[in-house]
Structure 1
């Protein structure tokens, strides 16, 4: 039996490895569930192709899986993330007593260099240029960039917005209400420029998805994470930004621009809906890494001595 069936709909005869996979994935929802399901399916298919029972695997076999992934040519950051899913699967399999011991506890996790530019996002002027390019393109793309760059929504969250989600009023403010990462409900006040963009994209509609594809074979269907990517890349080129701009960078940009504007770290954490203040602080450290670098102090101290 193909081990990937562990992730399909329940059947009358559920095997232990299927149940272990289902109970692990039941902790997640939305895009996280999608990415975790993909990574776990990949591992379970590998086990099946090698005649392995996932619940009987020992640490040396997992080391071979790591080497197999390394040889497959995927990015090391992707490898580390997918391995993290497998390690989580085994951690909870041990907790739930499907296995006596976690075989992934001491598995080697490949190191990789983090691309700080991807975390820093766009600066104030670059984000402004993106907003202008989007506004010039069409109302839908304007609303897309506004949702991510001015409100800090994740790509999947922006794509999920319905017209009726931003028709609410609270405390004298018009607000956007939606379900965010982890199934958590979020409420965000809408500044007037944001209202204009969302209303322009909605037009005369009072309900239904806000963002629709504007071109291509699937024109007229709601946007999704994959359909947004080429739109953002095209708008970045039109805005004359000379580096790669990915969809999630707009959310990074929101955090960085908010900090540059003087918003407190705590308020930025709340606005970005970061679970931990450490996540927000990472943006702040990266943003100031050149301004506060020790070489400036050394250069000033030595100035005039040579």
Structure 2
């Protein structure tokens, strides 16, 4: 099933719908569209599991991550980005007092152990804006 044609079954609670609406209302444009798709996929997966999204726990969320990579064929990076959306959704639900605790608290960052942290200084794509993949030698400043 493609991302665009994924449909959400309406077996989730009105509170879960309130949490989703409250989360999405914070965003506009492309970000909102992307987050809306991520939540639609997650809510549909929860419906298939007969699970209300606000009742999900860490093992459920890790299973959803595996579902994204194994069954849907998402790359590890795409699955990680989708899980970050889910993580933000739950954090806001805690702040809004719709749930008591964040089930993503100890969740692995990404399925398959992929890291989303900053790249090392010697990685091919550096974040410093430099085009060079090799680290530059340190130069001492001279004081005048």
**1:41, distance to aligned residue in structure 2 (A):** 0.5
* 8 Å Cα contact 1:3-1:18 kept in structure 2: no
**1:99, distance to aligned residue in structure 2 (A):** 0.3
The one of 289, 293, 300 aligned to 2:133: 289
**1:293, distance to aligned residue in structure 2 (A):** 6.3
Question: Is 2:104 the partner of 1:104?
Answer: yes
Whole-angstrom distance in 2 between the partners of 1:76 and 1:3: 28
* 8 Å Cα contact 1:25-1:37 kept in structure 2: yes
Aligned residues: 122
TM-score, L = length of structure 1: 0.36
Partner SS state of residue 284, structure 1: coil
Higher relative contact order (CA 8 A, sep 6+): 2
Partner SS state of residue 129, structure 2: helix
Determine the structure 2 residue equivalent to 1:63.
Answer: 62
Partner SS state of residue 292, structure 1: coil
* 8 Å Cα contact 2:109-2:115 kept in structure 1: no
The structure with more radius of gyration: 1
Which digits, 9 at most, give the CA deviation of each residue in 1:77-135, with x for residues without a partner? 10110000011111100110000000011111221587x77x68xxxxxxxxxxxxxxx
Which digits, 9 at most, give the CA deviation of each residue in 1:268-306, with x for residues without a partner? xxxxxxxxxxxxxx2424x23336269xxxxxxxxxxxx
Whole-angstrom distance in 2 between the partners of 1:291 and 1:96: 45
**1:33, distance to aligned residue in structure 2 (A):** 0.5
291 and 91 in structure 1: CA distance in 2 versus 1, 3 angstrom threshold: closer
Determine the structure 2 residue equivalent to 1:81.
Answer: 81
Q: Please identify which structure carries the higher strand content.
A: 1
Whole-angstrom distance in 1 between the partners of 2:69 and 2:102: 22
* 8 Å Cα contact 1:76-1:112 kept in structure 2: no
Counterparts of residues 133-172 of structure 1 (less than 5 Å): none
Task: In structure 2, list runs of 5 or more residues that go unmatched.
Answer: 1-7, 139-144
Whole-angstrom distance in 1 between the partners of 2:50 and 2:98: 19
Determine the structure 1 residue equivalent to 2:33.
Answer: 34
Determine the structure 2 residue equivalent to 1:94.
Answer: 94
